[in-house]
Structure 1
Amino acid sequence: MTARTLNLDDALYRYVLDVSLRETPLLKRLRDETQALPMARWQVAPEQGQFLALLVKLTGARRLLEVGTFTGYSALCMAAALPDDGSLICCDIAGDYNAIALRYWQEAGLDGRIELRLAPALDTLATLETLGSFDLIFIDADKANYPCYLEHALRLLRVGGLAVFDNTLWSGRVLETHPDSADTRAIQALNLALKDDARVDLSLLPLGDGLTLCRKR
């Protein structure tokens, strides 16, 4: 939910992209189209998408779950990194942007690996517990439900699997002492709870708007 990594000046951020970003023309076109939308701020940064793809490969993940898909950029990054027998379930609510995601997945030839489920994410997650475990879960949906998404993720992940939360620095608003926003309070609560959660190994990376990795023990 940020167009770029926080707290890098323009020149240094440009350098990061110039020496490391391997964005395909299709991904670039999707990112540009997304930037023209009213809710463009929901888009993950391109370096985050590339990092998610690397996580898929590093972990050998085959079954992925994404909570919050928007125009499908992060899903496209992860699905492209899957082996041929891999799969990705995406949870989102119905919106005009769904058609953009489906169009780009089809153009990439990856629509057969991706299943889009349109319903409130908590409802979808409750139905997935009978379908076996997941290797990696990326969570970038409504922030007020982040603590609930953590509990669902830990039930759905295999031991050694990864839950990845986006926006855990929340543009610096996590530093507010008396936040008015329920979203800010939820992210603060998640961050504090994870610090002492013995069920996971943990790292909060200052990538994008903050990316928290939780490995299920």
Structure 2
Amino acid sequence: MGERWQAVDDYIAGKLLGADGALAAALVNNGAQGLPPIDVSPAQGKMLFLLAQVAGAKRILEIGTLGGYSTIWLARALPDGGELVTLELETHHALVARENLENAGVSGKVDIRVGPAADSLAAMTGEAPFDFVFIDADEQNNAHYVEEAIRLGRPGTTLIVDNVVREGGVLDAASDDERIIGTRALFDMLSTDARLDATAVQTVGAKKWDGFVLARVR
């Protein structure tokens, strides 16, 4: 089944995305520099691009840069004068991301902040609100990241949280996996937080069986 999921993703990318030298080069560079191959798929990247455009985003927050593959997609969605702030824990990952962003011609729109995301978020005060937030980092802290996204957003801000199904692991209430515990805590938060409208969608494809949360600040 996994081979067919990959084949369908390849078909979608071939029909709707086409070749993209900068994005392909980013993935090659990531691999050469030892980064884990956990970027969003091309189809998911295009989805992020379109959702950010639909939201009319002029300021985007990304939590979890890795090598900047999704960052490139999101930066391309910004209008002239738009800004993307992306948070990355690992200094090496941030350096690779800067290379990839420069190669893609979007580095002027992107501010990479290095360090624990919780600390970077706590330091963000007095900034203009974000219109779109993409969370793709350590799942055990997702509920906190959403809380901070609400604080740093505005009514109408769009939130996307990746990796919330984990091949069905989200159903395991007895799991000792911190990522699953954190994901379940996120769903518990979303189920009771009156500040958000939210849903979640399962996905299959190149990234196997997973899913994402889509939410909007009321």
- Using structure 1 for the length normalisation, give the TM-score: 0.89
1:213 alignment partner AA: L
- RMSD of aligned alpha carbons: 2.0
- Take 1:106 and 1:10, find their aligned partners in 2: how far apart are those partners? 29
| 1:33 aligned residue | 29
**Change in 2 beyond 3 A, CA 1:139/1:7:** farther
Indicate conservation of the 8 Å contact 1:23/1:46, yes or no: no
**Change in 2 beyond 3 A, CA 1:23/1:135:** farther
* Equivalent residues in 2 for 1:93-112, closer than 5 Å: 93-112=89-108
2:67 alignment partner AA: T
1:214 alignment partner AA: A
**Count, aligned residues:** 212
Indicate conservation of the 8 Å contact 1:34/1:43, yes or no: no
Indicate conservation of the 8 Å contact 2:33/2:96, yes or no: no
Taking every aligned residue pair, what percent have the same amino acid on both sides? 34
Q: What SS does the corresponding residue of 2:147 show, helix, strand or coil?
A: helix
Deviation, 1:154, is 0.8
- Using structure 2 for the length normalisation, give the TM-score: 0.89
2:217 alignment partner AA: K
For structure 2, the 5+ residue unaligned runs are none
- Take 2:47 and 2:19, find their aligned partners in 1: how far apart are those partners? 11
- Take 2:101 and 2:5, find their aligned partners in 1: how far apart are those partners? 33
| 2:171 aligned residue | 175
Q: Select the residue among 181, 201, 204 that pairs with 1:205.
A: 201
For structure 1, the 5+ residue unaligned runs are 1-5
| 1:3 aligned residue | none
Indicate conservation of the 8 Å contact 2:130/2:157, yes or no: yes
Q: What SS does the corresponding residue of 1:164 show, helix, strand or coil?
A: strand
Deviating more after overlay: 24-33 vs 45-54: 24-33
| 1:122 aligned residue | 118
